Amino acid sequence: MKFRDGMWLVAEGMKVEYAEGVHEITETERGLSLLCPTTRIRSRGDTLNRSCITIDIQAEFDGVISVEATHWGGARRLGPNFDLYPTGKPAVDAKITRGPKGTTLTSGSLSATIHPDQHTFNISLDAADNSKHLTSLASRSVALAYTPAFNNELVTEDMRAIKHYMLTQSTLSVGESVHGLGERFGAFNKVGQSVQLWNADGGTSSDQAYKNVSFWLSSRGYGVFIDHPGKVDLEVGSERSCRVQTSVEGQRLKWFVIHGPTPKEVLYKYGILTGRPGTVPSWSFGLWLSTSFTTNYDEQTVNSFLEGMRERDIAVDVFHYDCFWMKAFRWTDFVFDSDKFPDPKAQIARLKASGLCKKVCVWINPYIAEAGEAFAYAAEKGYLVKRKNGDVWQWDVWQAGMGLVDFTNPEACEWYVGCLNKLFDVGVDAIKTDFGERIPTKDVVWFDAQADPERMHNFYTFLYNKVVYEALQKRYGENEAVLYARSACAGTQRFPLTWGGDCESTPEAMAESVRGGLSLGLSGFAFWSVDIGGFEGYPPPWIYKRWVAMGLLCSHSRLHGSGSYRVPWTIDEDDKTEEGCSRTLSKWTNLKTRLMPYLYQQALESVESSVPVSLRAVCLEFLDDPTSWYLDRQFMVGDKLMVAPIYEESGEVEFYLPKGKWTSFFTNEVKSGPGWFKERHGFGTLPLYVREGTVLVLGSKEARGAVYDYARDAEICLYQVSGGETAKLVDNQGKEIGILEVGADGKVKGTEVLKGEWSVSESGRDVDGDAPSSIESL
């Protein structure tokens, strides 16, 4: 939302009043409270008939300071609110000093300094050791605004027809870039964009997003978390080119400045504030196969899919039943379609016993169709959101007469968990929590009388996913719960995992998805997936195979479509050649299986650090390389592997390697960065480069599926090591079983924890026996 028409004029229909100075500074328990009139006070008469903005600046914990701007403090503080500091708030040591540069509040590594001249409005945020200026609230950067505009203040006697906004503008330095704000599919660097944080079901090819996260990361070593679960409008260098403007409707606007100084440290501290990602089990990293959405399927179809995958040497760890496991017009009533699945419990048990899959997932959403068994009971008990006249809130969008589960009602949550437990009794192990974006804000009454409908819109997804995730934890164990969620807001990273939503079957959509995954990873989410092959449309074989290569290098990998199946033999008429879809999928699935010792160890580290496993933006590892902040077509898997997906049918790809020596995973060819490179690939490879100084543990070539003994028949691959490099080895339950370390003599120590016929490869990995690699340098 823009409040000005260029630099000099106020936008038509807007009345904007800026804090023009700091009239008083009052020390508080953890900081400073600033009284800021919207005019310069030269005489006592200037204090009359003027608005003031109160700015409260508080030390939160080491390197974190909050800033809250308030116009009328008498406004009710309605909920919901973000669940901050879920594991406890760290101790804080707030220091206040006064000197010639002004009044300074210091919180560990971060300081905020108020200009000493009360007529000069400037709050400077800096590294406490004065090593770096981060950002400022400079002249005309904190304001209140009304629309429609008026000339007579008496009209504010009745605010029902007047909208009131609070806005702040933090400065952008020369060359500064901004990233994050959830899963956004446009340009990776958000400078120049208008961004609205409002969850919407808009696909992956628009400015709408399923996962709006009110946190952004700056290339200058800080981040900003906006503590407002409702609609937030940002003008990121798009109203004033040198500022990030944040605005909300209401009387208050609060945000937290988080100093790193590295981006990883920023994400770590953001994790303290809003919560760390949950741990996911090793089986979830294997291949997930779906029925797809509107396709026809029944028990026989499911069996044929899984048997066909086994025949083609493609291990499926999780089978997913999408929407039509329930009858049409009855979603979500939690009842299997008895015509298609006469005995789901027995079928699921047979699938697992036969080894065709390890786990089973089903699709649900929080919308309850009127024709389903669940609606009448939920409506009678008051478990559904209501209209202001007392009716159940219903519409015919998506499902006929659907209502919405009211997760602010504890009894509704308990009922919903009971419905989930019936699924768990049948043998369901994981839940795809779809939707949660179309949450009404008009003519709505929540069970919690303090819940503001506008604030509930984005926050609903937190409550929805929390209920399902904790139900899974209670049934299967704390670290065995897995969601497949589409919507999210700040804090939802605690309930992994998410996927990228409805993308088209095009190379452009694959690139959009990569940008979305990168942005979400810089918003505190450790795990992410995508619909391999694209959701909408019918992918031609070349797109399917390129997407398979990218998708099997995401932290989690799922084959899923809309109106067409994604089993490989339906894509290319069952081409059985080495370059066909089936062999391509088999090779990439088996490669991910071999990478599991590395992937799972990296995943456990990501849970502690709030840094993404994959897709991991290159800037997290190479923050001092300016190019890394603009790389949005490639990503890292953990901190050792660089991946460049291929978006061309020809197999041509251009990618960047930062400073250092990089070894091709497929050929052991070494390239030196920094620099751009071009290659042409067949379907069995892509640019997958290993960082120098890496000890890469690969699992057995004979392993199938993500869960096996990672220490048995392992290959220890050394990449440009010089001594002292290590690799932590964990088992498939996440327990550390040893540390492998390269000695000064180049030999690997700690191998006593390895089992079977393990080996060490001193110059990359052993490529003997691999399928021929078709890689051409251009």
| Catalytic residue set | 434, 437, 502
Tokens of 574: 């069952």
Q: Report the alpha-carbon distance of residue 772 to residue 325 in Å, rounded.
A: 42
Around 82, how many Cα atoms within 13 Å sit in the side-chain half-sphere? 28
Q: Report the alpha-carbon distance of residue 97 to residue 103 in Å, rounded.
A: 6
Q: Do 29 and 95 meet the contact criterion of CB atoms below 8 Å apart?
A: no
Q: Do 465 and 485 meet the contact criterion of CB atoms below 8 Å apart?
A: yes
Strand order in the sheet with 715-719: 694-698, 715-719, 759-761
Q: Of the candidates 41, 67, 43, which has an alpha carbon nearest to the alpha carbon of residue 56?
A: 67
Around 106, how many Cα atoms within 13 Å sit in the side-chain half-sphere? 11
What DSSP string describes 368-399?
E-TTSHHHHHHHHHT-B-B-TTSSBP-B-SSS
Q: Of the candidates 637, 642, 681, 686, which has an alpha carbon nearest to the alpha carbon of residue 661?
A: 642
Tokens of 515: 């940008």
Please name the residue that has the structure tokens 């800021």: 36
Q: Report the alpha-carbon distance of residue 11 to residue 230 in Å, rounded.
A: 24
Q: Do 446 and 453 meet the contact criterion of CB atoms below 8 Å apart?
A: yes
**Residue type at 553 in one-letter notation:** L
Q: Report the alpha-carbon distance of residue 113 to residue 105 in Å, rounded.
A: 6
**Residue type at 519 in one-letter notation:** S
Q: Report the alpha-carbon distance of residue 492 to residue 476 in Å, rounded.
A: 20
Report the DSSP pairing between strands 142-147 and 15-18: antiparallel
Q: Of the candidates 482, 463, 457, which has an alpha carbon nearest to the alpha carbon of residue 472?
A: 482
Tokens of 736: 């550390």
Q: Which helix (H) or strand (E) holds 92?
A: none
Please name the residue that has the structure tokens 């110059």: 763
DSSP lists the bridge partners of residue 716 as: 697, 760
What's the longest Cα–Cα distance across the chain? 88
Tokens of 82: 């973000």
Q: How far is CA 675 from CA 191, 372, 625, 657, in A?
A: 25, 59, 11, 6
* Residues belonging to the chain: 778
Q: Which helix (H) or strand (E) holds 97?
A: strand 94-99
The region that residue 257 occupies, defined by phi over 0 for left and psi between -120 and 50 for alpha, beta otherwise, is beta
* Three-class DSSP category at 282: helix
Report the DSSP pairing between strands 212-218 and 222-226: antiparallel
Q: Report the alpha-carbon distance of residue 185 to residue 737 in Å, rounded.
A: 40
* Three-class DSSP category at 629: helix
Residue 350 burial by CB count (10 A; 0-12/13-18/19+): exposed, middle or buried?
middle
What DSSP string describes 151-204?
S-GGGGG--TT-EEEEEEEEE--TT--EEEEES--S-SS-TTEEEEE-B----S
Q: Report the alpha-carbon distance of residue 677 to residue 671 in Å, rounded.
A: 9
Between 263-274 and 596-609, two packed helices, what is the crossing angle to 10 degrees? 70
Q: Report the alpha-carbon distance of residue 739 to residue 407 in Å, rounded.
A: 45
Around 445, how many Cα atoms within 13 Å sit in the side-chain half-sphere? 10
